[in-house]
Amino acid sequence: MRLSLFITQHLEGILAEWEAFARTQGPSASHMSSLALRDHAKLILTAIAAEIETAQTPHQQQEKSRGLAPEALGQESAAATHGTLRQLSGFSLIQLTAEFRALRATVLRLWLPHVSAVTDTTASDMVRFNEAIDQAQAESVVTYSRRAAAARDTFLAILGHDLRSPLATISLAGSYLTTSAVDPNKSREVGKRVQRGVASMTSMINDLLEYARVQLDGEIPIAAELMDLAEICQAALENARAVHPNCPFEFAVSGDLHARLDKHRMQQVLSNLLNNAAQYRDQSAPVVMAAVGEQDAVVVSVQNYGQLIPPEARQAIFDPMVRLPGDDGGNGRSLRSIGLGLFIAREITAGHGGTLEVESDSAHGTVFTARIPR
């Protein structure tokens, strides 16, 4: 049987194996739907089958081997779109290329039992198939890398902007305090502004250090001891109020909140969740934190009403340097997210053996819930 015909007649079986392999590419794939896991796979396979049947000159074959295959006029290929969407979904570049490696092996493994004899046509089909897979992988890698580079550039731009603002405040405060006539009442207000600027910069620098630690060591070290989570929540609330003085915060406690926790790390988790909620909230509603002691775990949630997180993005937001499409600073908020806070929060929670999850709907708003075993 010709390979192109086999692919078109056995699409569902090939797609099922694609999905099964993609689901093993954690942690991003663990929460993705079947539709998301199969993203553009059918179109990629259909294009590959068509490519096998398309006449090709020796010159065209040589150009393809150099990655110079002609692009469809005014149209991005399914493989190129797949690369972009996998980057947005939190897949690594290694995981993306592994999908194409698995696809190549799957198709050939399923097809070869249908080949009664190896002929020139069979050999030609295999060569054309491998060329098409290589081309599809190259297109995916290009768009993935382009999207990742854009995310890094955005990250650096936002970081520079966010550090410049509090530094300007501190500089102006220094100039004022060195003048000959200093009003004590005004100096107290200047001091509060400096404190808010320092708190904001400290949060960003801590996130950068933790991100670098994860990239180098693979995990964030946890030094846990018996602690009262309520006290850690209060400290995180004080930090959040210093950074967001105009945001109302509410706090509710119930049950026994003692557990083995790393005080500094957990405060960082909660501060990141509170700052994130304050940034994206509807200005008419408060940010609500609730801590509950359950039999085997302590649970803390942070809720805000505002822009909802679409289902397809609820895993990607925990990946570093990810900002949602349309995150343009609406509802009166500023663009003050370098895209590391939620990533750090998830890594620290996982280091405690816990989980950090998010739900987002119009009835309950957006709720991040950290569950830590005692």
CATH of the domain at 75: 1.10.490
Same structural domain, 358 and 244: yes
Same structural domain, 315 and 232: yes
Same structural domain, 231 and 360: yes
Q: Which amino acid is at 18?
A: W
Of 217, 238, 254, which residue sits at a domain end?
217
CB-CB contact of 300 with 233 (8 Å): yes
> In this structure, what CATH number is given to the domain that contains residue 165?
1.10.287
Number of domains in the chain: 3
Taking the whole predicted model, whether its pTM rises above 0.85 is answered as no
Q: Which amino acid is at 327?
A: D
> In this structure, what CATH number is given to the domain that contains residue 238?
3.30.565.10
**Binning pLDDT at 50, 70 and 90, where does residue 214 land?**
low
Arithmetic mean of pLDDT, 222-235:
93
Reading phi first (left if > 0) and then psi (alpha if -120 to 50, else beta), residue 306 is in left
Query: Is 70 exceeded by the pLDDT of residue 334?
Result: no
Same structural domain, 201 and 249: no
- Range of weakest confidence among 79-83, 173-177, 295-299: 173-177
Same structural domain, 322 and 295: yes
**Binning pLDDT at 50, 70 and 90, where does residue 325 land?**
low
Nearest alpha-carbon partner for 114 in 125, 103, 127: 125
Same structural domain, 192 and 276: no
Same structural domain, 18 and 133: yes
Same structural domain, 206 and 288: no
Of 151, 172, 195, which residue sits at a domain end?
151
Same structural domain, 144 and 11: yes
- Establish whether the linkage from the previous residue to 58 is cis, with ω within 30° of 0: no
Q: Kindly give the residue spans of alpha helices, DSSP state H, lying in the chain.
A: 3-9, 11-22, 34-37, 41-53, 58-65, 78-88, 93-111, 120-177, 184-217, 229-243, 263-280, 341-351
Determine the Cα–Cα distance for residues 331 and 307; give it in Å rounded to an integer: 9
Task: Please give the residue that has the higher pLDDT: either 305 or 154.
Answer: 305
CB-CB contact of 92 with 144 (8 Å): no
| Strand blocks (E) in the chain | 225-228, 249-254, 258-261, 287-293, 297-304, 355-361, 365-373
CB-CB contact of 132 with 69 (8 Å): no
- Range of weakest confidence among 22-26, 29-33, 161-165, 227-231: 161-165
Query: Is 90 exceeded by the pLDDT of residue 187?
Result: no
Same structural domain, 15 and 141: yes
CB-CB contact of 311 with 272 (8 Å): no
pLDDT at 233: 96
Determine the Cα–Cα distance for residues 261 and 352; give it in Å rounded to an integer: 7
Task: Indicate the DSSP class of residue 306.
Answer: B
Of 217, 245, 261, which residue sits at a domain end?
217
**Binning pLDDT at 50, 70 and 90, where does residue 209 land?**
confident
CB-CB contact of 64 with 135 (8 Å): yes
Same structural domain, 236 and 325: yes
What domain range is 133 assigned to? 3-151
CB-CB contact of 240 with 203 (8 Å): no
Same structural domain, 168 and 100: no
Query: Is 50 exceeded by the pLDDT of residue 274?
Result: yes
Task: Indicate the DSSP class of residue 287.
Answer: E
